[in-house]
Amino acid sequence: MPGRLFGTNGVRGVVNEDMTSDLALQMGKAIGTVMGGTVAIATDTRNSAHMIKMAVSSGIMSVGADVIDLGVLPTPAIQYYVKTHDDVRGGVMITASHNPPQFNGIKCISSDGTEASRKDEEEIEAHYSNDILCASWNTIGSMQRVRDAAEEYVNAIISKVDAEAIRKAELKVCLDCANGAAYETTPLLLKKLNVRVITINSNPQVEFPGRPSEPTEENVGDLLSLTESMGSDLGIAHDGDADRCVFITTNGKYVSGDKSLALLSGYALSKRAGLIVTPVSTSSLVEEVVEEAHGVIEYTAVGSPIVARRMMEAGAVFGGEENGGLIFPDHQYCRDGGMAVAKMLECIVKEGPLENQISRLPTYYTVKKKVECPNEMKKDVLDRIAKESAGAKIDRTDGMKIIFDDGWVLARPSGTEPLFRVFSESKDADVAEGRAERYENLVRECLQDLS
């Protein structure tokens, strides 16, 4: 096994190919050794959830640590549990988020509820590669099932919004959980906020994910039409582990993650002046809205733990990613799909229909391309793009962001997949499209020349 196990989002792989019960068991031993004490564990709804959870749990107990099994939960719900229970030293979430159902993953959570830092991951990796000493038979750990975590999480969210105002508004929403981890928590949250909810793909008994679990516009077509035909105030779609969500307007219009991030940034700044943190891949739309609201924007490398840690250090007001991952610092320093739902409801109640709010935003055109690229060639491709872009204004926070007077292009290797991503943005659609094609072709040419 190579030294580095963890990608941008924990350890992920195809079940019984790279993500095996053997790997999970050894990971469990390493995690139990590093975290010690009591470790919480939860899963999403994948068919491999139990297999991986039992193997990890067995490993944790074998080195003398105890396991608290929280069942199926959104990733932010186990993070909240770990953060608020002092006897819990850390957490393990079994999920591959938006990846297809054949994948699963192991994600570690620090005692403060944040995603494990690279330093913590390195410590686990170091143990993983060694023989791990098991506890003697009479000091092995125990496993206990706890059922309150979902409700604790939902109640915490409700305490962070103007629940009375939302309850009075008697809103109606359509919800699509991709048959994933939010099937219990988000309907419960909505019910407690007196919101009438119509669900699709919110049944954990049927096959995950019901629709492809990345909540892109193409993947949530049923929800778009349902929201419109039901005349709902809002449509909500989660990814598989519900750390993210995207929104749909009453008229069945898909609201991109950039737009909801911009909107909720403006809303946060209307309450408290300060800093908004987001990765370099985010639309300039957010920057424009933030500056208009007299806020300050700061860009980081891509990856939600990086955004969350920077927010923590800098005392940011709000932050998040262009993919529907939003971070609310007065709740917790991680992406939180449930919290995003509650805050968006509050924002609609206070500021008017989502449709109207979206129509006031400036228009940017963002074109996103991906090119298959073997991991070992990523660095060479990046070097070639740098050479080709010599003389241009470049931001190397993550990959390469080439900044023009009328837009930008970001070319960056994926942290989780053998892919190169090319994002291009401009207020002029043709410019955005033209540059996206040019850089996509450039990546392809580099790959051809290199192979």
What is the smallest separation between the CB atom of 233 and Mg ion, expressed in angstroms? 25
Stretch that binds Mg ion, among 20-28, 160-168, 241-249, 266-274 (CB under 5 A): 241-249
Residues 6+ apart with CB under 8 A from 99: 12, 105, 213, 240
- Cβ at position 362, least distance to Mg ion in Å: 28
Residue 219 β-bridge partners: none
Strands 365-372 and 419-426: antiparallel
Q: List the one residue from 241, 287, 346, 398 that touches Mg ion (CB under 5 A).
A: 241
Kindly indicate which of the ranges 220-228, 239-247, 282-290, 293-301 contains the residues binding Mg ion, using the contact rule CB under 5 A: 239-247
CB 293 within 8 A of CB 269: yes
225 is catalytic: no
Applying CB under 5 A, the span of 39-47, 120-128, 233-241, 438-446 interacting with Mg ion comes to: 233-241
Nearest Cα residue to 385 out of 348, 420, 342: 420
Interacting residues of 249 by C-beta distance below 8 A, sequence separation 6+:
227, 234, 235, 255, 353, 354, 355, 358
Among the listed ranges 85-93, 94-102, 112-120, 366-374, the one in contact with Mg ion (CB under 5 A) is 94-102
Q: How far is the CB of 320 from Mg ion (least distance, A)?
A: 13
**Count of CB atoms situated within 10 Å of the CB of 214:** 21
Q: Report the residue number, 295 or 337, with the smaller CB distance to Mg ion.
A: 337
Cβ nearer to Mg ion, comparing 243 with 425: 243
Query: Restricting to residues 163-202, which ones interact with Mg ion according to CB under 5 A?
Result: none
Q: Which is nearer to Mg ion, 120 or 243 (CB)?
A: 243
The Cα–Cα gap between 98 and 61 comes to 29
Query: Which position's Cβ is nearest Mg ion?
Result: 97
Task: Enumerate residues 262-291 that contact Mg ion by CB under 5 A.
Answer: none
Q: Name which of 334 and 447 has its Cβ closer to Mg ion.
A: 334
Choose the stretch contacting Mg ion; rule: CB under 5 A; options: 96-104, 124-132, 187-195, 356-364.
Answer: 96-104
- For residue 305, give the amino acid letter: P
What is the smallest separation between the CB atom of 251 and Mg ion, expressed in angstroms? 27
Residue selected from 43, 97, 250, 278 as contacting Mg ion according to rule CB under 5 A? 97
Q: Which of 48, 57, 58, 97 is catalytic?
A: 97
**Of residues 59 and 325, the one with the C-beta less far from Mg ion:** 325
239 binds Mg ion (CB under 5 A): yes
Nearer to Mg ion, 180 or 413 (CB): 180
Least distance to Mg ion, CB of residue 238, Å: 8
Whichever of 239 and 321 has its CB closer to Mg ion, that residue is 239
| Contact flags string 374-393 toward Mg ion, x per CB under 5 A | --------------------
Number of residues binding to Mg ion, judged by CB under 5 A: 4
Site residues, Mg ion (CB under 5 A): 97, 239, 241, 243
Residues forming the active site:
97
